[in-house]
Structure 1
């Protein structure tokens, strides 16, 4: 007999079966056993049972070359030791030996030695790698050591005086290849599981941090509903992701003036949110120095060009309402124009071509003026409203005008709720593509309670 491939194929089939079982075990509720890097009695006992079963299966699927029985049964204790420590490897070996004896099969002292050595070696590698991913080269080395023990110890070793040259080569391959292959596949499976668990842990951590950041961001904005003499106001900000780059802001400066702003920083996520926060802080600090909306926008423009990323910009509207007269002065820096709802009509206010802040250093921003009458509503939206997507079609300014005309909302809160509902209905189940921000204010010639 020179060389028979069938025996090697049979052993590799056994490795494939054990690998498949191991994979399914990592997808059960017991997957934590394979992930845990600390010793626990449950893990030790669980892997002892699995290792004992692997030992029994490997023994029953072994092959014979001359007087030698060659099998993959030693994978059982070595895998148990590799996952749960030396104690588990020894227990798996003990269970395998008991099952071996229970089947009425003879077992020699050298088989006992090899079995326990396999469990101990697996346990030693567990100790070396319990805080890290197992390197594939180390899995190869472990498999080589376990196979070497089987190859050289006692009468279970391959003896060249007994076998033909071809049988010696086949016996060597049959011992080393399935053992090394089985351990490498198993290590690959548990490494993937551990990496998956680590990625999930990091994802949960990031998700928690982003949730906290969203709460902080929303909490830093003014209240969504507010009312003073002559003006009532409502606003909302719905980020497309956890945190967004839109902002709204307002502040009653004194009995004469009310400042308001709505902006949209380019991009999304954390960078846009940080720029949004810095923009709001700049506006809040400078509004004490000047009530010229265009001067405020020029300050934002300077800040973006000097301190920000050259690829970032912001569209925004900054305005001042004179509470006694209803006169509004605002500066529109490349933002969707505001809407005016009067008793007779809803119109989109014209906006001359001011560029967004952060684009051109010498941009001269032009102010706009509108006079609010009793009951008039001024509505500002971000492009998350006008550019809400349904397939390739956008919601558009025309629909905003039409829905406001048809529904004739009477209060700022009704405006905000109406537009948010419209955007949600328009996009349907599609994910929100951009931050959606709305600010609406209504002017009263007397206080709202008197009206």
Structure 2
């Protein structure tokens, strides 16, 4: 029986070492992100104006009643979401995201037929899709994923419209996708 070659043993050892290093790096990165979020959360809201400055990898929004100003890299917005009583959650969804490097800011507006728990499940799927593609440069990939997620779990929701705006900070480029939504842009 031949002994394994030293090169083979080295590769196995190197692979194990690389996996360990990658796992440690991932845990360190997650710990850094959690620490950053905890420390910076208080610094991200201006006490005087109530403006919120979004951090990298942050996703904000939903379908609950709220009003606030928000600053994304390259974009400023004012959000007002007011579901009709008695529902606490409406069919109008809004999300804002910032990628891990602060290079891509996105705004998503959607109008789902219905309200309440039915729409909340759609809102959760939309948020999951945005989280999955927060660093995706190609917006068509994001929109296709959102469409597939909606179709896979519509559960009684008959239709939805959406508008996705992506702002690429370094180039100043604005890309938007309109999927049946009324034109939401106001240019001054």
* 1:239–1:285 CA distance, 2 compared to 1 (3 A): same
1:232-311 equivalence runs, <5 A = 232-240=76-84, 241-253=87-99, 254-288=101-135, 290-309=136-155, 311=157
User: How far apart are 1:217 and its partner, in Å?
Assistant: 5.7
Correspondence for 1:227:
71
Distance 1:229 1:303, change over 3 A: closer
Where does residue 316 of structure 1 map in the other structure?
162
Q: Secondary structure at the match of 1:264?
A: strand
Q: Which residue of the partner structure matches residue 335 of structure 1?
A: 181
Q: Whose RCO is larger (CA < 8 A, sep 6+)?
A: 2
Unaligned runs of 5+ in 1: 1-215, 343-451
Query: Per residue, is there more helix in 1 or in 2?
Result: 1
CA distance in 2, matches of 1:310, 1:292: 30
**Other structure's SS at 1:259 match:** strand
Give the Å deviation of 1:318.
1.3
The structural deviation recorded for 1:276 is: 1.8
CA contact (8 A) 2:70 2:76 kept: yes
Runs of 4+ in 1 over 6 A off after TM superposition: none
- Structure 2's unaligned 5+ residue stretches are 1-61
Distance 2:73 2:114 in 1: 37
Count of residues in correspondence between the two structures: 124
Q: Give the superposed CA RMSD.
A: 2.6
Q: What is the CA-CA distance between 1:310 and the residue it aligns to?
A: 6.0
Q: Which has the higher strand share?
A: 2
Q: CA deviation at 1:285?
A: 1.9
Which residue number in structure 2 is paired with residue 22 of structure 1? none
What is the CA-CA distance between 1:257 and the residue it aligns to? Answer: 1.7
Specify the structure having the higher radius of gyration (Cα): 1
Distance between the aligned counterparts of 1:255 and 1:242, measured in 2? 32
Query: What is the CA–CA distance in structure 2 between the aligned matches of 1:217 and 1:304, rounded to whole Å?
Result: 16
TM-score (norm. length: structure 1): 0.25
